[in-house]
Structure 1
Amino acid sequence: MVKAARAAQVWRTYRSVSQPGSPGLGDRLKALPRMIGAVMHGQYPGMSKGKLAMMGMGVLYIVSPVDVIPEFFLLLGVADDFGVFLWLMGSLLGEGGRYVDWEREQVHRSVTVAPS
């Protein structure tokens, strides 16, 4: 059930990436380092440091040799890593898109407010 929800989240993210006017996959991926920096410096209000830490723990879980369900349980061992991967990709791409939209809005505001 949980894995189905994660897969659905990834599917929604994929659909949002492919919509006209939405930030594309490349823009979202390139924005991730800027987003991480903005979250760490408190400049981006759209994401908490706690959520960023959860994403970091997701990366560590995927690359770590220590698992909750070890790989010697074959499919179960791989499935838990894949579930974390799906959640992580959906979260990163979704947050990356929201961050790109937020950046565009900030640029638009600064151009609109800037004196002539």
Structure 2
Amino acid sequence: MVKAARAAQAWRAYKQVSQPGSPGLGARLRAIPKMIGATTRGHYPGMSKGKLGMLALGVVYILSPIDVIPDFLALVGVADDFGVFLWLMGSLLGESGRYVDWERRNIQARAFPS
């Protein structure tokens, strides 16, 4: 059930990337380092430091040789890493798209103050 939810989240992120007018995949990927920096400095209100920490834990889990389900258990061991990967990519792509939109609005607001 949880893996299906992760796959659905990744599918939603893919659909968002492919919508006309939405930030594309390249823009979203390039925005991730800026989004992380803006979040850690407290400039981007769209993401909490707690969520950023959860994303970091997802990266650590994927890279760590220690797993909840060991990888030597054929497909089952790789499936938990893949589920975390799907969640991580869905979360990063969705949040970076919101960051790009937020950044565009802020640039426009500074260029054309009311």
> Which TM class, normalised by the smaller chain length?
over 0.9
**Partner SS state of residue 71, structure 1:** coil
Normalised to the residue count of structure 2, the TM-score between the two structures is 0.98
Moved over 2 A (4+): none
Paired with 1:26 and 1:69, the residues of 2 have a C-alpha distance of 33
What is the count of residue pairs matched by the alignment? 114
Match of 1:75 in 2: 75
In 2, distance between residues paired with 1:31 and 1:110?
19
- How many angstroms apart in 2 are the aligned matches of 1:40 and 1:20? 30
| Unaligned residue ranges in structure 2 (runs of 5+) | none
| Equivalence for 1:14 | 14
Provide the C-alpha distance between the structure 2 equivalents of 1:92 and 1:100, rounded to a whole number of angstroms. Answer: 12
User: TM-score normalised to the size of structure 1?
Assistant: 0.96
User: Residue 107 of structure 1 aligns with which residue?
Assistant: 107
Distance in 2 between the 1:62 and 1:10 partners?
A: 16
Counterpart code for 2:104: R
Q: Which residue of 1 aligns with 2:97?
A: 97
